[in-house]
A and B are shown apart, each in its own frame.
Chain A
Amino acid sequence: MTIHVEQLRPLAARIHRRFMPGLLTLLLVLSSVLAPFASSFAADKLVVYSGRAERLIKPVLDAFTAKTGIQVDLLSSGTTELVNRLKAEGDRTPADLLLTNDAGSLELARGAGLLRPLNMREVERAIPPQFRAADNSWVGLSGRFWIIAYNTTLVKPDQIGSLLDLAQPQWKDKIAIPNSGSEYLQAGVSVIRASHGDERTKKFLEGLRDNAGSQVYQKSSQIVDAVAKGQVALGIVNHYYVYRHLATQPTAPLAVLMPDQKDGAMGAIMNVTGIGITKSSTHAENAKLLIEFLISQAGQKMFADLDKEYPLHQDVKADPALVDRKSFHAAMVPLTRLAELREPTLTLIEQVGLR
């Protein structure tokens, strides 16, 4: 049987008419859908998993891109969620760096073998050893303190001396707290446990739960907002949220109380923001460049000014609006212990039934 080309022509035209639009759409969709996947192989690109709010970190990363030309793709999410994600992804993770708001999570990631040890002289020169992992798998970038934010029209600062005072019945319905999933609540409670023991901590948490009622928030910025508006008198947050709020609304009746400062008291609870390079990163050199940028004086300064945290580089000064770092002392629980303390802390939090 012979087939003439002419005979095929209408058929080809029909196939063309019928399938081409669909085929083109399919190609378009496929290419877009696969693009994010493919992009992780591109050379001058870094993928950062960030447990920090996007607005706190993006400007710094943009400055890095402007300086080096290295593109940074950012995935902003919860810190624990990102550690879980890294664990699940294993070798296949597209992430080059993990940036979190909690040293405990970084230490957990290190323990799970998700981060690679770093040998960088710059890091050792800039960041004191108590703010990084023993093998430099993670490096602290900035310090934050768990403080009491109070409304100056509702509370006098001498009414309260310790975080533990917040459990007293006089503060019923007058305090706001973060929810039990937040890493800094978990870290804070871990430090209290290490300093005061489980029994005392449990009593404290029960009081906190009863006093807070439904004032349990997902975000620190909401707690600060509630305190500033006078919806509650006191709240527990990381210090910089207060200063960020005051920077935009200088007249807000809002102030910071550094708790547990009496002689022999526990001291303020400290945590750090930190960063580590993932074990399976294929862009380790670029990732090192980013860390170098973040711990350089310029990077630290930017970080400190933008976020109102305490820079960890000794030669960089904190924002003058902040409580002078030399005027208060921090709790003596090493950051690297936060990871091992976490699991029993979670159990305690759940036993008490904090939301």
Chain B
Amino acid sequence: MTTLRQQLASPLQLAALATAGLILLPLGYVSILALSADPAVWSRLWATRIPELLFNTITLAGAVALLTLILGVSTAWLVVRFDFPGRRVWEAALILPLAMPTYVLAYVYTYLLGFGGPAERLWQLWAGPQARIVSPHSFWGTTLVMALDTFPFVYLLTRSALLSLNVSFEEVSRACGVSRLMTLWRVTLPLMRPSIAAGIALVILYVVSDFGAVSLLRYQTLTYAVFQQMTGRSDNTAASILSVLLVVLALLFLITERWFRQRSRFYQTAGRYRPPQRVRCSWLGTASITAFMSLIVAVSFGIPAYLLVTWSLSPEAQAILDSRFYGFIWNSALLATAAATVGVIVGLPLAYLASRRPTALTIGCLQAAYAGYVLPGPVAALAVLVLSLKIAPVLYGTAILLIIAYVIHFLPAGLQSLEPALQQITPNLEEAARTLGLGVRETWRRVTLPLIRNGFVVAWVLMFLQTMKELPATLLLRPVGFDTLAIRVWLEASEEYFQLAAPAALLIVLLSLPALFLLVSKDWRAA
């Protein structure tokens, strides 16, 4: 039996090594390019661009984190701890913004908050014709758009933490004479801290690596600057230097977050678990909660979705709905399906080996695969482009290359749900199946696969969703005449043709919605 297992393990091992190598390759390539750059390029960038870019990126991430913390925790708290008419509706509605790519929200807000736009006209009715509101192309404008789009990460993780929180801790605190507020501060919040921190971590990583929204809002972050350097200059050295900075920034952040999470670990002690009792709201409470929820859902999803629909129905938009447009839909669906499927297939050996034969090598492979996480889209694309021309020129200019870039970039998101899915089943189950006379394959088919199916579905859906929305790698690597919906949105929206960008944007949202609900109906894991 052991020999059989080893035989099975070795091709798996090879596959895992190959995947890890493939994913590390771009990172290595970019680092080498950056480190071998002329010191003069480094010092020029230090003197001109880097301080501003670092400052912009870090302050933006910080401000968005703060705003999502407030929005995410308050909404989660309200739907878990209070009972009011319509609670279930709001519970679901709060995740809707996740279906709206950030760049779509960015372009809608360019219209809404823009110079002479509807928001400004409303404000001027009240404050006089010379009054101005915050520009969408500013620090606060960008912060607002990013926060409205990403707060559901914090909301979802906080909500699930609150739901699984054992209320007895709070009761003990209250019984010892601690006030309600102090209990919240000293008991409940610290217990939720790891989940909130995980949510915020997702938000920050998202902000730091975002390309679409910052490019449409013209807000200079490192990721945007990498893309500009790549497309505006005839050598990629400066781009690779900025990329390496970006990778270091993301790594530093990930390490801090790990450390923070390890220090605060809480265990459910033996005993009974009870969910908290919901506080019934008075009509006044219901009214104010409903107003608050309506406001948040309206600005983060309702109004943008309404605008997309009306724009899509305009004659200008209808005119572009020809056979070419259906091609874009097909391309998007095809790429997303292929990338998600390949991602699951490629991720499986990594996750399986790391949970079943956790040697230094297999764990190392898994960790290496997570490298794609810190590699922003334009950087991954740059590396894939150059490497493919050197190693496998046949693939160049085909969609296969795009799929490789997607897998490198999004595999970590998939692994995050593949890995726990595999870890949850103890090997004893498989061994029991074997002792009861099932073959290796039968065991897989009848025991392991059904048990990990949910994790698989979640991983697949996650990678599908991300690929649907992906921009920078698609922009740089797409084959000739192979545009996707995301590309169409970006091309039209970057010239502020709001109507023309709307049908593609609306389709991305509509295609994302079912996948999103499928995700949330299961156990939520990082996106």
Contacts and interface: CB of A to CB of B under 8 A. Distances in A.
A322 to B, nearest CB: 22
Nearest to B330: A32
Contacts of A181: 228-229, 231-233
Interface string B460-480: 000000000000000110111
Interface string A70-93: 000111111011011001111010
Interface stretch (A134-142, A220-228, A257-265, A300-308): A220-228
Interface stretch (A115-123, A197-205, A347-355): A347-355
A201 B115 CA distance: 32
B85 interface: no
A8 B393 CA distance: 43
B491 A54 contact: yes
A218 to B, nearest CB: 6
A151 B188 CA distance: 58
B234 A88 contact: no
Contact of B232 (A36, A92, A180): A180
A101 B423 CA distance: 56
A76 B475 CA distance: 10
A33 interface: yes
Interface residues of B, number: 45
A80 B231 contact: yes
A43 to B, nearest CB: 16
A297 interface: no
B216 to A, nearest CB: 9
A11 interface: no
A54 B488 CA distance: 11
Interface string A135-168: 0000000000000000000000000000000000
A89 B479 CA distance: 12
Interface in B126-176: 137-138
B397 interface: yes
A225 B496 contact: yes
Contact of B398 (A34, A77, A218): A34
B400 A74 contact: no
A225 B334 CA distance: 37
Contacts of A179: 228, 232
Interface string B285-324: 0000000000000000000000000000000000000000
Contacts of B403: 33
B230 A73 contact: no
Contacts of B215: 218
A75 B399 contact: no
B192 interface: no
B398 A92 contact: no
B231 A78 contact: yes
A73 B481 contact: yes
Nearest to B390: A88
B237 interface: no
Contacts of A94: 397, 479-480
A286 B230 CA distance: 32
Contact of A88 (B229, B233, B385, B495): B385
B470 to A, nearest CB: 16
Contacts of B476: 81
Nearest to B475: A77
A29 B48 contact: no
Nearest to B331: A32
B310 to A, nearest CB: 20
Interface residues of A, number: 52
A75 B474 CA distance: 12
A249 B390 CA distance: 50
B397 A214 contact: no
Interface string B106-121: 0000000001100000
B218 A40 contact: no
Contacts of A355: 220
B201 interface: no
Nearest to A232: B115
Interface in A58-77: 73-77
A216 interface: yes
A204 to B, nearest CB: 17
A29 B335 CA distance: 9
Contacts of A29: 334, 337-338
A104 to B, nearest CB: 11
Contacts of B231: 77-78, 80-81, 84, 181
A351 B491 contact: no
Given A219-B494, A221-B496, A225-B496, A75 B228 contact: no
Interface string A326-355: 000000000000000000001100110101
B482 interface: yes
A36 B491 contact: no
A350 B495 contact: no
21 contacts: A33-B403, A34-B398, A36-B481, A37-B398, A37-B479, A40-B480, A47-B481, A54-B491, A75-B478, A76-B491, A80-B232, A81-B232, A84-B231, A88-B385, A89-B397, A179-B228, A219-B494, A221-B495, A226-B115, A230-B115, A231-B115
Interface of B: 44, 47-49, 52, 115-116, 137-138, 215, 218, 220, 228-234, 236, 330, 334, 337-338, 385-386, 389, 393, 396-400, 403, 475-476, 478-482, 491, 494-496
Given A36-B399, A229-B116, 10 more contacts: A34-B400, A37-B397, A73-B480, A84-B234, A94-B397, A179-B228, A181-B232, A182-B232, A230-B115, A350-B49
Interface of A: 29, 32-34, 36-37, 39-40, 47, 49, 53-54, 73-78, 80-81, 83-84, 87-90, 92, 94-95, 108, 179-182, 214, 216-219, 221-222, 225-226, 229-231, 346-347, 350-351, 353, 355
In the A-B complex, the 6 residue pairs with the closest CB atoms = A181-B232, A36-B479, A81-B231, A231-B115, A73-B481, A33-B399
